[in-house]
Chains A and B, each alone.
Chain A
Amino acid sequence: MKPAAFVHHRPTTLEEAVRILAEVAPDDGRVIAGGQSLVPIMAYRMARPPHLVDINHVAGLDRLAVENGRLAIGARVRHMAFRDSAAPGATGALLSTLMRHIAHAPIRTRGTFCGSLAHSDPSSEWCLAAAALDAVLIAHSARGVREIAAADYFQGAMTTDLQPDEILVEARLPLLPDDTRIGFVEFSRRAGDYALASVLTTFRLVGGKIAEPRFAIGGAEAFPRRLAEIETMLTGAAPDADLWREAAERAAAIIDPLEDAATPGDYRRDLVRALTLRAFQQANA
């Protein structure tokens, strides 16, 4: 199908963009970044925004830089930017691993990191990264600027704390220590498709014991989140097969799985159990 009519706005400064968005947001006017989620929804007529504020020409939003020990990812940074570890260290390695699981090359060349966070599909890899690493999100509107912690940002499937008149201008991620171990595994029915479940874990080994563990699940629940109970279980423990098995059982038990006609909740629990085991094995290898 064809999208419904809209007025195309093409601001070149952030000031202009938030001013236009403030005017059109009450009528369901929206931001368009990569368009890789919005245009399909418009083609289905599931959204008919009468105004699109196109941020692809807004100066300054293409920044991908390390600042004050954090990686700043501007709203025009595309998925593809992370392909060759454009970002430094373990955080860069993690992002480039995740990028390979997002759709396909022709979508990665347009879709943006911040657009994924704004869209907030339950199985978005970037949303999982933001939740696992406690990203800080910077939102601008005509009313001002605010910082949102990832833990407060995700609120439900495709529902976030971002307000209709706000532009997500930047996401900031911590730089993980170089010796951070990373495990990421997802399961999807077709290559490049949205995952039914995914697991991301990072930790360090200090004197043979697990330190600073992060453990987050995506796709399995309405939005990605860290599982504090699993992290507590891991902290200070020796990384052995028993621990991984126990953690995988526990993770499968404590989630509140999404269900749909093709995917019963118990199937997602099984996936989380299996993916957790594999993610730990990968990180520990």
Chain B
Amino acid sequence: MTMKQDLTLLVNGARYDISVEPRKTLADALRDDCGLTGTHLGCEHGVCGACTIIADGAPIRACLMFAVQAEGMALRTVEGLAKGNEWSPLQKAFVEHHGLQCGYCTPGFLMLATSALEENPDISDEELRDVLSSNLCRCTGYENIVKAVRAAALEMGASS
């Protein structure tokens, strides 16, 4: 029943050959089996968004998918945002605008906002707030997160 299954996950362009029980969520497999602990778990039932990653270009809750279901998908986690030692514009903006305090929710917000900005760099304030309402932060009060994403959008627009 609880037999482990061999599978390959493709995360941030690298292959991870792992062996997991089918009941293991993608979030747990990323953390425990791939050693990618940047993806955080808060509620483990889809509500908080701490586990948000990008799968085949779209944001998903990594706690609501089993690792065995993610085979063949191109996965992106927070570890893939920086280029070497160079943070992404969004990561820099989070630091500059105090978009984080304890940082627990931050990987989820970064992946959520990254997918939103990649899809629409000219996202309106209203749409942005709607997108960000997906995730919970217990520290910042959200205003600084909105400011950080806004600033990153400007910077990304300016550099393209």
Contact = CB atoms under 8 A, between A and B. Distances in A.
Interface stretch (A100-108, A138-146, A166-174): A100-108
Nearest to B21: A5
A3 B21 CA distance: 11
Taking residues whose C-beta sits less than 8 angstroms from the other chain, chain A's interface range is: 20 to 34
B23 interface: yes
A37 to B, nearest CB: 9
B116 interface: yes
A192 B68 CA distance: 28
Contacts of A4: 23
Contacts of A110: 60-61, 64-65
Given A7-B1, A105-B59, A40 B133 contact: no
B130 interface: yes
Contacts of A160: none
Contact of A7 (B22, B52, B65): B22
Contact of B45 (A7, A44, A192): A44
B33 interface: no
Nearest to A78: B58
Contacts, number: 87
B5 interface: yes
Interface string A50-84: 10101010000000000000000000000010000
B89 to A, nearest CB: 21
Nearest to B111: A106
A36 B64 contact: yes
15 contacts: A3-B23, A36-B61, A39-B25, A39-B64, A40-B45, A40-B46, A43-B44, A104-B131, A104-B133, A105-B58, A105-B115, A105-B131, A106-B58, A106-B59, A192-B133
Interface of B: 1-2, 5, 21-25, 28, 44-46, 49, 52, 55, 58-61, 63-66, 68-69, 112, 115-116, 130-131, 133-135
Interface of A: 1-8, 35-36, 39-40, 43-44, 50, 52, 54, 56, 80, 103-107, 109-110, 191-192
